[in-house]
């Protein structure tokens, strides 16, 4: 109640860009007090890039909320016999080897009951979200934060942070309708994250390893440019937009097909249709993406702004911040954790 409200540093350590938002709980939502973004040349530069961001930004807190992603992060939606939450943590250790491709001792697990009553009632069952992250990934991640001089308050998963950002935005504008099914697609540099929500609950997540780097490669091949030049042309095609669009179209089609496969899987499993598609991530700005996706999915494809309902404190360069808006979905989702304290 007194003094400065508690702040956190939401740090999205992407494979190509680091996005940091220093935020506080503003009562009804969150407020941004400071931010910084920087590109990373390659993975080995990550730690230097984080240190550089911290050095130049004068953040007031070291408490960080970050996320992990990739093949060492397993998310499963499983059906189990009904039991109280405290028993679930124990029971899942005996069942987990059915669902995850690693030894149970190798991973840190978390569970959440999504629906506590499913099935026909003869044998009471519940739907459970199981998240398993390899311990060595968490250790590496913690080491990185420690080396950067940060404390780790929460480690989340990219796909769930994406969902939290969407929920935060919806909450400010009347909330998510509990039966509505939407797909969030975040297209980064290395991967595309898919998170299908019914209401505010995630029912399906997947990472597809097809994203910005693959589009750069397509441009590089077509125009015979090195990676840096191709990256530049891809992001600022100016009067070559038509040719760039043509060069990336096969890759866009591949990505559209992968996403459609996920929709098909979800729709078969849950007998529900994905109603709307919401796109974010740096690669959402690709020319021709909306047309290609609307053609592939035959549903409305919306580019959403995760900053839309967020208060930005005076003194912040809002114009530059807004240029990053589409790329900040995961960071905003991490930032939303400040409200749960
Ligand atoms: N104007 C633009 N047009 C097309 N692509 C763009 C544009 N601006 C950025 N990108 C691409 O967006 C990607 C970076 O986006 P983002 O910050 O969401 O990725 P990341 O979080 O670093 O990656 P990942 O989540 O895969 O680890 C890069 O591949 C970059 O080339
Ligand atoms: Mg990312």
Ligand found nearest the CA of 280: 1
Ligand 1 centroid from CA 281, angstroms: 6
Residue nearest to atom 14 of ligand 1 (CA): 282
Q: Rounded to whole angstroms, what are the CA distances from 202 to 70, 74, 164, 182, 325?
A: 18, 14, 10, 10, 23
pLDDT at 28: 77
Cα–Cα distance for residue pair 80/92, rounded to 1 Å: 9
Q: Ligand 1 site: residues with CB under 6 angstroms?
A: 14-17, 188-191, 211-213, 231, 234-235, 281-283, 285-286, 327
Residue range 206-301 in CATH 3.30.70.20:
no
pLDDT in tens, 55-84: 999 999 999 999 999 999 999 999 999 999
- Burial environment of residue 153 by CB neighbours within 10 A (0 to 12, 13 to 18, 19 or more): middle
The pLDDT value recorded for residue 209 is 97
Sort 225 into a burial class: Cβ within 10 Å, 0-12 / 13-18 / 19+: middle
> Which residue lies with its CA nearest to atom 24 of ligand 1?
188
Spell out, as residue ranges, where the chain has pLDDT lower than 70: 1-5, 121, 340-341
3-state class of 208 per DSSP?
strand
Q: Which atom of ligand 1 is nearest to the CA of 212?
A: 29
List the Cα angle 124/125/130 in 5-degree steps: 160
Model pLDDT for residues 211-263, shown as the tens digit of each residue: 999 999 999 999 999 999 999 999 999 999 999 999 999 999 999 999 999 99
Residue 281 Cα, ligand 2 centroid: separation in angstroms?
A: 7
pLDDT of residue 116: 81
pLDDT value of residue 41: 85
> How many angstroms separate the alpha carbon of residue 97 from the centre of ligand 2?
29
Tell me which residue has its CA closest to atom 20 in ligand 1: 14
Kindly report each contact of residues 69-72 with a partner whose C-beta sits within 8 Å and lies 24 or more positions away, as own/partner: 69/157, 69/158, 69/159, 69/191, 69/193, 69/207, 70/137, 70/191, 70/207, 72/133, 72/134, 72/136, 72/137
Spell out a b/e string for 285-321, using b for 16 or more CB atoms within 10 Å of the CB, else e: ebbebbebbeebbebebeebebbebbeeeeeeeeeeb
Cα separation, 90 vs 3, in Å, equals 41
For the CA of 281, the nearest atom of ligand 1: 18
Q: Which residues lie at CB < 5 A from ion ligand 2?
A: 14, 188
CATH 3.40.50.300 fits 73-134, yes or no: no
Of 71, 67, 63, nearest to 12 by C-alpha is 67
Ligand nearest to the CA of 281: 1
Q: How far apart are CA 239 and CA 98, in angstroms?
A: 53
**82 vs 7: CA distance, rounded Å:** 38
Domain boundaries, the chain: 7-70+137-176+305-340, 73-134, 206-301
**Token code pair at residue 90:** 């124990």
Domain 7-70+137-176+305-340 matching CATH 3.30.420.40: the answer reads yes
Q: Of 245, 70, 197, 36, nearest to 141 (Cα)?
A: 70
Q: Report the residue among 42, 189, 214 best suited for mutation to probe ligand 1: largest number of ligand atoms under 8 A from its CB.
A: 189
pLDDT of residue 121: 67
- The total of other beta-carbon atoms located within 10 Å of residue 90's CB is 9
Q: Does residue 35 contact residue 12 with C-beta atoms inside 8 Å?
A: no
User: What is the model's pLDDT at position 341?
Assistant: 43
**128 Cα: distance to centroid of ligand 1 (angstroms):** 32
pLDDT reported for residue 340: 58
Nearest Cα residue to 108 out of 154, 72, 150, 63: 72
- At 4 the pLDDT is 55
Q: Tell the residue number behind the tokens 């589009």, with chain if given.
A: 215
Ligand 1 atom showing the smallest separation from residue 285 Cα: 3
Q: Which atom of ligand 1 is nearest to the CA of 190?
A: 26
Q: Does the fold of domain 73-134 match that of domain 7-70+137-176+305-340?
A: no
Q: Ligand 2: distance of its center to the CA of 243 in Å?
A: 26
């Amino acid at each position: 109640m007194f003094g400065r409200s508690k702040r956190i540093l939401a740090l999205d350590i992407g494979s190509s860009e680091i996005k940091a938002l220093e935020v506080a709980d503003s009562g009804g939502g969150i407020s941004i007090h400071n931010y910084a973004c920087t590109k990373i040349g390659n993975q080995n530069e990550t730690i230097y890039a984080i240190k550089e961001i911290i050095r130049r930004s004068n953040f007031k807190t070291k408490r960080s909320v970050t996320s992990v992603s990739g093949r060492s992060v397993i998310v499963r939606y499983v059906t189990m016999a009904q039991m109280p939450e405290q028993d679930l943590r124990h029971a899942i250790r005996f069942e987990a080897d059915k669902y995850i491709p690693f030894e149970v001792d190798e991973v840190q697990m978390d569970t959440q009951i999504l629906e506590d009553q499913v099935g026909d009632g003869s044998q009471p069952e519940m739907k459970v979200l199981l998240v398993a992250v390899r311990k060595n990934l968490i250790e590496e991640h913690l080491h990185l934060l420690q080396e950067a001089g940060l404390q780790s308050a929460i480690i989340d998963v990219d796909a769930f942070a994406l969902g939290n950002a969407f929920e935060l935005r919806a909450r400010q504008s009347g909330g998510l309708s509990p039966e509505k099914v939407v797909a969030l697609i975040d297209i980064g540099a290395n991967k595309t994250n898919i998170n299908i929500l019914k209401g505010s609950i995630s029912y399906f997540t997947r990472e597809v390893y097809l994203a910005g780097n693959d589009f750069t490669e397509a441009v590089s091949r077509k125009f015979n440019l090195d990676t840096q030049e191709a990256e530049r042309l891809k992001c600022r095609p100016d009067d070559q937009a038509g040719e760039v669009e043509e060069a990336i179209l096969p890759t866009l089609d591949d990505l559209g097909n992968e996403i459609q496969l996920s929709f098909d899987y979800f729709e078969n499993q849950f007998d529900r249709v994905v109603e709307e598609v919401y796109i974010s991530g740096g690669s959402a700005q690709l020319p021709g993406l909306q047309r290609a996706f609307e053609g592939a999915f035959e549903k409305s494809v919306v580019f959403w702004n995760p900053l839309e309902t967020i208060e930005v404190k005076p003194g912040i360069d809002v114009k530059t911040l807004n240029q990053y808006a589409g790329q900040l979905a995961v960071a905003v989702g991490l930032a939303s954790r400040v409200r749960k304290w």
